[in-house]
Structure 1
Amino acid sequence: MIMTGSHSYIAKYTVYDTKSHIGVPLVMPDSSEYLQHAGWAPNANQLIVIHKNNIYFYFRIGDQPIQITTNGREGFIYNGIPDLMYEEHILKTHLTYWWLNDGSRLCYASFDNTLVDQMPYIIYGATNASSQSRPLAVGGGGDNDYPKVYTYPYPKPGREISKVTLTVVDISAPNYVRARTQVIPPDEIRGWDHYITAPVVWITKTSIAVVWSRRSQNYTVVSICKEETNWVCNKLIEEQLSGPKGWLMVDEGPVFSDDKKYMFMRLPVADGTFGTYDHIAMIYTESGKKYFLTHGQFVVTKIFAYRSDLHTLYFAATVYNDPGSRHIFSVTDMNSLNPRKIECLSCNASEKCWFNNAIFSPNGRYYVSECLGPEIPTIHLLSVDENKFIETLDTTAKLRTELETKMMPKIKYLTIPNDKGPDIRVELILPQSLIEDEDTKYPAVIEINNLPNTQSVNYEYRLDWSRYLTSKKDYITIHIDGRGTGYQGNRHMFEVIGELGKEEIHDLKIAINYLKKKLPYIDEDKIVVWGRDYGGFITMSLLATTEPTTDKKHPNMDMVTCAIAVTPISNWKNYLSVFSERYIGQPYSNYDINYQNSRLTQIIEQKHNNLKKKTFLLVHGTSDKRVNIDHTMLLMKELTDKSIQFKVQLYPDSGIIESWERSVRKHFYLTMEDFFAKCFQVEDQEEALDLINLTPWKKNAPKV
């Protein structure tokens, strides 16, 4: 498998016969072995395959496939898979097709990028199977005589975006496959640039539910599209942004009752002066009448299932004043004898389990309970009717045994008062050797990798690089959730809209000052910050920031003096349109000043003197399609013009960080470790051979 994006990949597939125990490689008629996707149909031994942006269907294994789409074209038209914009910031998946549950019909999305501007990038070495872009020019007579220039569609703010279409196709028999019908958007969406923002949901064999959003992302329509109207969609409900600041992005399709008379969705609802929170709405499909089943200062994160016989819906949510938790709940609907009754199914678990997920059986009678943190995960099977434990499916015993010999870090959570909003939440990953009342001080690494509307501080159990750093190097690693992060209500999340970096930096300054003053075991002279993409932008903005002091000789104090910015976004006009327009608006009239104020190169131009005595490293893959190399190049140009010294590490032909080859990732992490050691002025330890190799337990671990 070769990753080509944050969710997408190409791979070789083998069809394995469970009776004969023989595996046969899946090869397309053009002899291609690497495919964008291969998957089973719901109800038979039939395969759907996506290859070169086209959809194929095998009615029988061994037969020639039937080609469902023929217009797929690399860099222009995508069928059944998302383009870059949808993969990264809208649907966040590698597949855009949806089966009717009996497998007789298929709805798929297509993305036409014909009018979208093309972004160039250069390949310096030999091309490989992961190249999904269009060659612009090839020089030289041999394969590697000259670098090769490729292009791919990249919509920027205010410019053309891809056109999305939905198509329904009958796959019940080979002779029906050619009968395709395009789904027509509702009147409220047709004629506007728009997106589909949630998976399509089949209601019946002849109807689907589709969630649409205008490009402005402040107006959403949930529609019902029926075969009897030739798949023309009609609005069921509409949602409009209630305030001047924010966006609407309904990213989860509706869940329907058995009789299809009503459905359930996560939608924002106001809670007085505290703003809006995502809660469960019960919506009648004939009238569009809407009732909210949940309400309050917590966030519903996912709807799992609905039991019509019990008039009960099952969902996951945070709890009041604890956004890092995820619990499994049930709530009765408006037709119940006791409507809106909420019960927590995971709150009284015998084990320490604060971060939960559930997988419900198709009939909703059983569910798999995944206890995902803060301790090592366990998985159990329970019955729904009495929430009765049936059996433990996985105790992760092998992992527990392995970690018994490792020096695992300790986790500590803090809340820090914020003069401009809710408390700032902090996760500290502490060395096992740290004793809080001792005088030993430890270097600290602050990781800033959370996009707006995401979360770094929660109770989910992780074995990641932050924990590796703490275990191997005795560094304190820190995550900080300030304004703009998710799961604390929409007002908290919308605070960063308009001028990216302003409020985030304010909250980071408060948090860092608090940690320096209140935690004596943090060495305030040895704090380094790193982040990638959006986090790289915040990292550089923070590095350029100083804090006023009362010292006349030194009126400004540096927040940090060492940083690593990985694929930093230096100009939001050069980033993907759907993200930039969501947080800053389209680059017209009064919004254009917000783009200027949020431009990293302008921040450096204004504060360049603050960077001249700082140490920082820029890292970028030259073939990154999400954050093109031009962001780092323009940043380097600005730094050079201002005579600011910096270090840079480029990875030729490497794309987004999720797709980096193991050798590149190893080099990247070792480079960061070496940079941290130089920042902290400590001797570099032995080179780690594994990316994650937790230090064996030592009773008297050395302190840095």
Structure 2
Amino acid sequence: MKLDDVLGGTFRAKRVSIDWLDDGIAGHDGLYAEHDASGKLLIGDYSGATISEPKTLIDSRSFKYEGSDYIISNAWPGKGLEQVLLLTNPKKNWRHSYFGMYWILDADSKSVTPLIPGDLNANVRIAKWSPTGEYVAYVLENNLYIRNVSDPTSVKQVTNDGDKDLFYGIPDWVYEEEVFSGNYALWWADNGKYLAFLRSNDSMVPEYSIPYFEQHPIENGSYPDMVDIKYPKAGYNNPIVELMFLDLSTYEVFLPEVVDSRNLSDDDRLITEVVWVGEKVLMRQTNRESDLLKIVVIDPAKRTGAVVREEDFSGQDGGWFEVTQDTTYIPANASQGRMQDGYIDTVIVDGYDHLAYFEPIEATSPKTILTRGEWEVVAAPSAVDLSSGTVYFVATKKDPTERHVYSVKLDGSNFKSITDESTDGYYSVSFSTGGGYLLLSYKGPDVPWQKLLSLREGTETTLQENADLKKMLDRYKIPETIWEQITLEKDLVVNTFEIRPSDFDPNKKYPVLFHLYQGPGSQTVDKRFSIGFETYVASRKDAIIVSVDGRGTGFMGRKFRAIVRDNLGYWEAHDQILAARIWAKKSYVDPSRIAIWGWSYGGYMTLKTLEQDGGKTFSYGMAVAPVTDWRFYDSIYTERYMHTPQHNFAGYDGSAIKNVTALKGAERFLVMHGTGDDNVHFQNTLALLDKFDLAQVENYDMFVFPDSDHSINFHNSNKVVYDRLDRWIELAFAGAFVAEKDYL
């Protein structure tokens, strides 16, 4: 097993990816779009109702326009499949966003025309079909536009004052990263009559400047490019966000008047979800510290809205409201007993995340609690089959490290498992728009496979078996993974896994590498199939790999994760140290060679654990792109778990990597960071290095990657990161740093 093979995807499972479509025909389900390996866009129909054989909408990955060649990066079919929206020349912006050129393809004639007539140089941020296929909404230079697809000359500019401080229909940096996890902030009504869109005013948000040293030719100048980002750090001004509407019948833009007896101030208001519920909009708001949740229902026809449900967690269980995007509309249907429109939401039931059905939309409490127990639903619901009133969802009911698929009726009856709970399994799902078909993806612990299930007919078809991967794995000695729950202290039970070398000998003494992330609500210990860097280390370095999901991580209930609030780093590090002490006592472990490593929050936790441990248990650590002081990180993420620095000064002070002298207790540690990191700013590492200098901490190695962002992949740097990690841990386990520490 070679590192290049592991990183290059040799051991990665193949998978089928499809996009389910809705053609608007009542009772029809199963229509899908799929991009094949050659770049063709195929339209198929698993139900066979309208298309007996897959139809090719795009037959080539490229096209010519006015003598120039363009490569298609992505494509989205419009309603009726008569036209396709194309993307070419994408240029990365931040994690999820990009600029690009958009085109409209006629599916029959294969002719292509620019989305913006006469302008082939326009850098569009986002373009989205209306549900009717009549319009495309797009954002150019932070302003919102609407184009009638049938008439290239009928482009309407909806907003006019978009600039570096005003964003329309797209998120600013912090909303893209921490709220929507995507590149758009506009939502079409199902009937295409209205468009809801976010207006973000960043004029009071401080800027953070990032120098880029190598991303421009030297002939363009000898000074670095400076990019200024509107980035609110903890305690600083947030963007002021408002949900606006466009009436397509008149092109009137309006801001509804929302009735709220306890208004959140502009700087204290986060809009975290927008979903159309029939002809109304449900908007989720929280305060910036994520203690107070408000459910707002807006009637765009009346231009008004009101808070219909409010939950206040300040001073209750010590937890917070996570950002979710899973609220699901349930339309009224008198014949099925649904007398009014409603929705499904994730609520807290006895300290765990569960599903509840609210009817009507304005209900202040659930009509039915759909699930309950000491387990949690995950990004749910996954789908609803309205014809049968069946709700489908993924949950941790069997085990927190597994994911199984379940269903329940809207009245709370007939709860059952769709996947086989008698064997270990981690499943993900993709449902057709009507909930009748399920692309079921088994992701582990064995080799992944995919099947198509017809839930109404009870049939299944295998789409991917990964037979080639199975054959290849037979030629390798793959390290064994052992999952178990262990007790750290008293009644504190945590999930762990241990990866052992394939020729494990219980009479030998092995070095141990702990791998962690540990961010609030996260999970590292799960039963997904994975042959990654840790597997490689176990195989080639003859080492034990351990991962422990301590307090603060997800899917173990609110009490388990909420303990870390206002004090990030302490309990998480405490639990890693307790676990390491348990492993140090195992007969097959060399207690002098225990290391820990992580990236991002995992990098922070690596340093925090070394700091708290002081060299008593962990001898080595590798921290990549670490946060070192939460005052340097963005407001929306940080304040959710720490409140503001103004309200929690001691917590912020204690959560920083502060006692750097304690790091001298480790034999040696490694820090890596990219200078172009727009997420965890390089400032974090520079501030830490200054502390090292003041305290004369010298038992560390440092690698810097010019212009690389948080993923560290500019100019081949990602390969270099793992090459460095590989070589560094080899030297550590060989004892190469012991004598050097004595010298220092």
TM-score when scaled to structure 2? 0.79
Q: CA deviation at 1:644?
A: 0.9
Q: Distance in 2 between matches of 1:639 and 1:372?
A: 43
| Residues 4-13 or 453-462, more deviating | 4-13
For residues 665 and 150 of structure 2, what CA distance do their matches in structure 1 show? 64
**Offset, 1:453:** 0.7
Q: Does 1:109 align with 2:202?
A: no
Q: Cα offset for 1:636?
A: 0.1
Matches within 5 A, 1:467-482: 467-482=535-550
Identity of aligned residues (%): 25
Match of 2:659 among 587, 591, 603: 603
Please say if 1:667 is aligned against 2:720.
yes
Shift of residue 665 of structure 1?
A: 0.8
Partners of 2:410 and 2:497 lie apart in 1 by: 37
Q: 1:675 is aligned with what amino acid?
A: W
- Give 1:481-560 correspondences, 5 Å limit: 481-518=549-586, 520-546=587-613, 558-560=616-618
Q: Deviations over 1:527-557 (max 9, x none)?
A: 221122222221112112337xxxxxxxxx6
Contact 1:429 1:470 in 2 (8 A): yes
CA contact (8 A) 2:600 2:625 kept: yes
Unpaired runs of at least 5, structure 1 = 129-140, 271-275, 548-556, 684-704
Amino acid at match of 2:554: G
CA distance in 2 between counterparts of 1:594 and 1:660 reads 33
Change (3 A) 1:610 1:180: closer
How far apart are residue 265 of structure 1 and its match? 0.6
Select the residue among 462, 467, 470 that pairs with 2:530: 462
- Report the residue type matching 1:44 in the other structure: G
CA shift for structure 1 position 115: 0.4
Q: 1:118 to 1:468 in 2, by over 3 A?
A: same
Q: Distance in 1 between matches of 2:176 and 2:324?
A: 13
In structure 1, which of residues 357, 363, 380 is the aligned counterpart of residue 451 of structure 2? 380
- Find the aligned partners of 1:444 and 1:54 in 2 and give their Cα distance: 54
1:193 aligns with 2:267: yes
Is 1:203 the counterpart of 2:257? The answer is: no
Structure 2: gaps of 5 or more residues? 1-89, 333-339, 737-744
CA deviation digits over 1:630-669, x for unaligned, max 9? 1111100000111111221111222221x62361111111
For the structure 1 residues 244 and 343, does the alpha-carbon distance in structure 2 shift closer, same or farther, using more than 3 Å as the test? Answer: closer
In structure 2, the residue matched to 1:677 is: 730
The yes-or-no answer on 1:345 pairing with 2:418 is yes
Displacement of 1:200: 1.6
* Residue in structure 1 matched with residue 252 of structure 2 by the alignment: 179
For 2:442, the equivalent position in structure 1 comes to 371
Q: Which residue of 2 aligns with 1:228?
A: 301
CA shift, 1:266, in A, is 0.5
Report the AA paired with residue 666 of structure 1. K
1:231-270 matched pairs, under 5 angstroms: 232-241=304-313, 243=316, 245-249=318-322, 251-259=324-332, 260-270=340-350
Q: Which amino acid aligns with 1:383?
A: S
403-412 or 110-119, larger mean C-alpha shift: 403-412
| Mapping of residues 629-640 of structure 1, within 5 Å | 629-640=682-693
The one of 365, 373, 397 equivalent to 1:289 is 365
C-alpha contact (below 8 Å) 1:545/1:558 kept by paired residues: no
> Is structure 2 residue 642 aligned with structure 1 residue 584?
yes
Query: Are 1:575 and 2:633 matched, yes or no?
Result: yes
CA 1:30–1:16: 2 relative to 1, 3 Å: closer
Structure 1 residues 120 and 287, CA gap change in structure 2 (3 angstroms): closer
Q: CA deviation at 1:22?
A: 6.0
How far did residue 309 of structure 1 move?
A: 4.2
Out of 257, 277, 289, the residue aligned to residue 216 of structure 1 is: 289
Shift of 1:262: 2.6
Q: Secondary structure at the match of 2:401?
A: strand
CA contact (8 A) 1:448 1:479 kept: yes
Please point out which of 354, 379, 382 is paired with 1:279.
354
RMSD: 2.9
- The residue type equivalent to 2:534 in the other structure is S
Map 1:80-159 → 2, pairs under 5 A? 80-127=169-216, 143-159=220-236
Separation of aligned partners in 2, 1:404 and 1:33: 52
- What's the CA shift for 1:109? 1.8
Query: Take 2:111 and 2:594, find their aligned partners in 1: how far apart are those partners?
Result: 56
What is the rounded CA distance, in whole Å, between the counterparts of 2:663 and 2:272 in structure 1? 44
CA distance in 1, matches of 2:178, 2:705: 24
Aligned to 2:62: none
Contact 1:252–1:266 under 8 Å retained in 2 = no
CA deviations on 1:58-86 (whole Å, 9 max, x unpaired) are 43289355434333324x23333222222
Deviation for aligned residue 1:342: 1.5
Whichever residue aligns with residue 307 of structure 2, its letter is K
Residue 577 of structure 1: CA displacement? 1.3
Distance 2:718 2:145 in 1: 35
AA partner of residue 632 (structure 2): N
Q: Structure 1's 362 and 532: CA in aligned 2 closer, same or farther, altered over 3 A?
A: same
Q: Is the 8 A contact 1:220 1:250 kept in 2?
A: no
Q: Distance in 2 between matches of 1:596 and 1:663?
A: 36
Look up the SS of the partner of 2:255 in the other structure.
Answer: strand
- Deviation, 1:212, is 0.8
- Cα 1:17–1:546 shift into 2, 3 Å: same
Distance 1:105 1:523 in 2: 65
- Correspondence for 1:551: none
- 1:332 Cα deviation (Å)? 2.3
- Quote the Cα distance in structure 2 between the aligned partners of 1:47 and 1:405: 51
Instruction: Indicate yes or no: 2:402 matched with 1:325.
Output: yes
Match of residue 688 from structure 1: none
Cα distance, 1:468 vs structure 2: 3.7
Q: Which residue of 2 aligns with 1:696?
A: none
Note the C-alpha offset of 1:522.
Answer: 3.5
Distance 1:422 1:310 in 2: 42
Q: Report the Cα offset of residue 524 of structure 1.
A: 2.8
Which one is further off, 26-35 or 360-369? 26-35
User: In the alignment, what sits opposite 2:487?
Assistant: 417
Cα drift, residue 354 of structure 1: 1.4
Alignment partner of 1:434 out of 504, 515, 528? 504
CA–CA separation in structure 2 for the residues paired with 1:8 and 1:463: 29
Superposed CA deviations along residues 590-611 of structure 1, whole A, max 9, x for unmatched, are x2111111121x232xxx0541
Partners of 1:309 and 1:655 in 2: how far apart? 47
Whether the 8 Å contact between 1:353 and 1:372 is mirrored in structure 2 is no
In 2, distance between residues paired with 1:15 and 1:25?
6
- The answer to which of 620-629 and 233-242 deviates more is 233-242
CA distance in 1, matches of 2:504, 2:679: 39
CA distance in 1, matches of 2:232, 2:557: 30
The answer on whether the counterparts of 2:479 and 2:500 sit within 8 Å (CA) in structure 1 is yes
TM-superposed deviation, 1:466? 2.5
- Report the Cα distance in structure 1 between the residues aligned to 2:676 and 2:728, rounded to whole angstroms: 24
Indicate the larger mover: 506-515 or 11-20. 11-20
**Hey, what's the Cα distance between the residues in 2 that align with 1:423 and 1:575?**
31
SS of aligned partner of 1:233: strand
Partners of 1:479 and 1:643 in 2: CA distance: 32
Does the 8 Å contact 1:186/1:223 carry over to 2?
Answer: no
Change (3 A) 1:186 1:624: farther
Instruction: Specify whether residues 26 and 258 from structure 1 end up closer, same or farther in structure 2 by C-alpha distance, changes over 3 A only.
Output: closer
SS of 1:251's partner is coil
Q: Is the alpha carbon distance of 1:653 and 1:610 closer, same or farther for their aligned partners in structure 2, counting shifts above 3 Å? A: closer
Does residue 67 (structure 1) correspond to residue 157 (structure 2)? The answer is: yes
